[in-house]
């Protein structure tokens, strides 16, 4: 069933790609990395814990495809969907995932991407998906509030990881700020669907674990889950609940 669903999504993506008008705005110039999630070892372990029982991974802000390719190759049983509005970054991401059959990328904004999911793949609303939201940055209107509102309003349950997130009390973690906007829980809390219970988690470490990037903040919203994450082993004490 999963293979047939994945092939159906592939066909829908291919049809849509023929009609897409590619944007020509400036590309965020990052080198392709063989590892995703900034190479943060604790974050990679957290992803591994969450994703092992998932069937889908959904990302916004593919850029050149480092995280998408990493997830798709490491977890070949998972269908990975992503979107990138910048035409040059999109084309590079396609090249970087050309031999990855379980990865699909749309040349769209995340707003259009989620509308496409609602129209073409609404059955995903019943799936317990891991989201990686990374479509915010400098020089663009942030879609983060719309993303959070859509996910918590349409999906029954989800794990939502937000990149470049402000980590309270930890100045060692970088985060995004742009035109008075701060990528933080305060920025998104009013658009979360509070009818369904959720928990918020932050990193709880100060040592840099990536050889590629300095520490970048992240937040995890555990939304509509029946039981909380069981953090043990090397993750014990490295992820802290905030709500």
Residue-wise pLDDT tens digits, 94-114: 999 999 999 999 999 999 999
pTM (2 d.p.) = 0.90
Q: How confident is the model at residue 23 (pLDDT cuts 50, 70, 90)?
A: very low
Per cent of the chain over pLDDT 90 is 81
Q: How confident is the model at residue 243 (pLDDT cuts 50, 70, 90)?
A: confident
Is the model's pLDDT at 22 over the cut of 80? no
| Mean pLDDT value of segment 39-48 | 97
The DSSP-derived string for 197-237 is: -EEEEEE---S---SSS--B-EEEEEES-SS-----GGGTT
Residue-wise pLDDT tens digits, 166-221: 999 999 999 999 988 999 999 999 999 999 999 999 999 999 999 999 999 999 99
d(CA 71, CA 103): 9
pLDDT the model gives residue 16: 52
Domains and CATH numbers, the chain: 2-20+28-241 (3.40.50.150)
pLDDT the model gives residue 18: 41
For residue 210, which of 4, 88, 36 has the smallest C-alpha distance?
Answer: 36
pLDDT the model gives residue 9: 60
Per cent of the chain over pLDDT 70 is 88
Annotate 93-108 with b (16+ C-beta within 10 A) or e (fewer). bbebbeebebbbbbbb
pLDDT top residue among 171 and 19: 171
């Amino acid at each position: 069933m999963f293979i047939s669903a994945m092939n159906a999504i592939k066909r829908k993506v291919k049809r849509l790609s023929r009609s897409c008008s590619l944007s020509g705005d400036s590309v965020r110039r990052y080198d392709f990395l063989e590892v995703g999630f900034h190479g943060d070892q604790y974050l990679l372990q957290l992803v591994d814990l969450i994703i092992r029982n998932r069937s889908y991974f959904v990302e916004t802000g593919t850029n050149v495809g480092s995280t998408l390719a990493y997830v798709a190759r490491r977890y070949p049983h998972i269908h990975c969907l992503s979107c990138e509005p910048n035409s040059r970054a999109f084309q590079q991401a396609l090249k970087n995932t050309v031999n990855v059959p379980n990865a699909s990328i749309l040349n769209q904004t995340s707003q259009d991407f989620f509308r496409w999911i609602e129209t073409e793949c609404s059955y995903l609303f019943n799936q317990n998906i891991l989201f990686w939201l990374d479509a915010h940055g400098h020089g663009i209107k942030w879609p983060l509030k719309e993303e959070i509102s859509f996910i918590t309003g349409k999906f029954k349950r989800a794990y939502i990881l937000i990149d470049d997130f402000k980590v309270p009390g930890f100045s060692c973690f970088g985060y995004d700020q742009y035109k008075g906007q701060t990528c933080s829980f305060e920025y998104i809390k009013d658009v979360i669907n509070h009818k369904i219970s959720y928990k918020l988690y932050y990193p709880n470490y100060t040592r840099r674990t990536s050889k590629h990037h300095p520490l970048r903040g992240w937040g995890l919203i555990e939304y509509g889950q029946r039981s909380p994450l069981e953090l043990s082993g090397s993750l014990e004490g490295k992820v802290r609940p905030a709500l």
